[in-house]
Every structure is written in C-alpha cells, then in structure tokens.
Amino acid sequence: MKTDCYRAISLFSGCGGSDLGLKGGFSYLGNEYPETGIEIIHASDINQKAVDTYNHNFAHKAICADVLNLDFSTYSADILVGGFPCQNFSTVNPTKNPEDVNNQLFWELAKVTEQVLPKVVIGENVKGFYYLKKGKYFNMIKNRLEEIGYKVYSSILNSADYGIPQLRERVIIIGVRNDIQKHFVFPNKTHGPESRNKIQYTPLKAVISSLYPENKKYFFSERAVLGVKKAKPNMKRALAQDLEKPCLTITSHLAKVSLNSRDPVLLVDAEKELYRRFTPIEAAKIQSFPDTFRFVGSEADAYRQIGNAVPPVLFWHVADAIIRQLLV
C-alpha cells in the first residue's frame, strides 16, 4: 500500500472504471493491482444510474451533476482526470456531429484544468478523437492545455497490451504542468510480442467460464442466424470470437447486440449454428472489472455502463506510471 496521498478530481466518471484504476487495491485474473495512494476528492457524472453504481462500489461518493454547472475554483488537486464522452468522435458512429460545440466536452476538461491547475491532467477518448479530421479536435485540446501551461503527451494504448482480453484502443492524453521538470513516458506493455518478456496476450477464454450460460436468453434466435445467412456478402457479420485470442472491442449497446453488426459474439456450436451475446458478468470481466465490482440497475443499465467504462487495469498502469515518474 502506498503511504503518500495524491488528491484527484474525476470528471465524467461513469460507473467508476477509471477511478478504480486510479485508486488500485483490487485483483484481476490472479494479478494484484496495489493501492496507488490516490484519494479522489470529487467524482461526478451526468448519468444517475452510473453514479448509483459508482456509489455502491466506492467509499467516497460521486455526485450526479452536469460539469457545465460545476465550479472548481476553490479546489486543490494533484491530478485531474476526465474521460470526456466519446460517441461523437467514434469512427463507427454514423450520426456523430463533432462540430456541435455542445459535443466538445473536452473544453470543460480544459476549463477545470485552468481553475484547479493540477500537477497532472489525464484525458481519455476513442482512437477516432486522435485521427478525426486529421487531428483537428485532438489539437484543439492539446493547444488549449499548452496555453494554460502544460506539456502534453499522448499515445494510443491497447488494453490487450496490458493483460486485458480485449482489443480496445484508446487515446490517452497526459498534461504535465510546466513547473514540473520531468518528462512522462507511457507504461511499458506487459503482454504481447512487444512486451519485455514476450508474455502472450490474455485470451478471451480466461473470462468465459462456460459457453452455455444458465439463462437461454443470451442465445440468438434461429431467425437472427437465418438473417445473417441471407444477408449480402458485404453485410455478413456474426463476428464470432476466437477464445484463444483477445476479444474485439465491446460497446455500450451490448444489450442490443445484433449478428448483423460489428459487435463481437460467441459461437457456441458451429454445427448447430448457435450464437450468443456476452452476459453482463462476462462483459465486465472483458473490461477488467474485478469480481467484487457490482453494477446497479437493470441488465441493460449494466451493459451500457460496462461498455462506456475505462478498463480499470489499463488505467492502473497509467496511474502507476504517473506517480512513479511525475509525483514521487
């Protein structure tokens, strides 16, 4: 356990994936992720159901509030973290409208940064945020943080490279206040061919205890399978996952997963053409939530919270690197 204490403000905290990673003190697939010494002094999200889940799992409590209505001018913190909503920057969202200033919530992350002036600010978003319109939106937040007084580091991290059985790429933005005369290097990969010890990726089978769940509602109907078979060749999906490899990225609409989509599914029996979606427990494990984490609300609520979450294990590695390199 860390003895030092670092104060953190968490915006867009969702159900708490990023904050669990920030704090540490959990286990996942037999590995321990020790406490980091980070104390979260404020956590908030606009979604009440996500806040309910957050408050069920953390001793410190989040509030349900719109960041537009919050003022942090009296706060003092070492770290500010914000995984600002990403739907409008996703490469798979056909209705995205990133030009709408109401969708550009990274400005709020910058506003709070200017109010608090933390030593480190952490931003997180989908890979598309980095590439969309030749990096237009990424450069907006980068330039603003530099204007406020921060050195900006960025990298696209893949969850699979850190022992998570999911190919989930996210851009991580690290702002380091200019008076901190240290440079930041993103954490070394722990898994995959580029890892130091060449440890193999964690396979999907590590979190799938049985292909046959007790409840049959997770299986797709014969009609759904027939629909895939009749679809045009360029529309056929049924993205059955290889249990020996990491899973494709899971999303926030897991409750409505279709065989005619880009969502990953499980092929239970090829001969019988049996496909199914992931259960909420499986989805949470794919995202690296520990077994002790509980989701509040309906099953659809849980799926949405899980799909929107930041994988805790990934964020633990980021937090650990920040503390070791910048704050100690």
Residues 164-208: tens digit of each pLDDT: 999 999 999 999 999 999 999 999 999 999 999 999 999 999 999
Q: Which of 146, 122, 166 is nearest to 319 (CA)?
A: 122
DSSP code per residue over 210-245: -SS-S-GGGBPPHHHHHHHHHS-TTT---EEPPTTS
Q: Which of 128, 200, 164 is nearest to 283 (CA)?
A: 164
Contact criterion met (CB below 8 Å) for 103 and 132: no
Length of the chain: 328
Catalytic hit among 15, 64, 86, 247 = 86
Give 279: exposed, middle or buried? Use CB within 10 Å, 0-12, 13-18, 19+.
buried
Pairing of strands 169-177, 120-126: antiparallel
Is the backbone of residue 284 left (phi > 0), alpha (psi -120 to 50) or beta? alpha
Helix %, strand %, coil % of the chain (to 5): 35, 20, 45
Q: Residue 5: its pLDDT value, please? A: 92
Report phi then psi at 125, rounded to 5: -160, 175
- Tell me the pTM: 0.93
Q: Residue 203: its pLDDT value, please? A: 98
Asked if residue 22 has pLDDT above 70, the reply is: yes
| Helix ranges, the chain (H) | 17-23, 48-57, 106-116, 127-148, 222-230, 280-286, 299-308, 312-322
Q: Residue 69: its pLDDT value, please? A: 95
Q: Residue 308: its pLDDT value, please? A: 95
247 is catalytic: no
Q: pLDDT above 70 covers what percent of the chain?
A: 92
Q: Residue 103: its pLDDT value, please? A: 53
Q: Residue 167: its pLDDT value, please? A: 98
Residues 275, 273: Cα–Cα separation, whole Å: 6
Residues 247, 277: Cα–Cα separation, whole Å: 12
Task: Report the chain's terminal Cα–Cα distance, integer Å.
Answer: 14
Contact criterion met (CB below 8 Å) for 43 and 37: no
pLDDT: is 163 or 236 the higher one?
163
Kind and range of the H or E run holding 274: strand 274-276
Asked if residue 99 has pLDDT above 60, the reply is: no
Q: Residue 234: its pLDDT value, please? A: 66
Residue ranges per structural domain of the chain:
6-199+310-327, 204-285
Residues 233, 259: Cα–Cα separation, whole Å: 14
Q: Residue 71: its pLDDT value, please? A: 96
Asked if residue 102 has pLDDT above 50, the reply is: no
* CATH of the structural domain 6-199+310-327, one choice from 2.100.10.30, 2.60.40.10, 3.40.50.150, 1.10.10.10: 3.40.50.150
Is the backbone of residue 107 left (phi > 0), alpha (psi -120 to 50) or beta? alpha
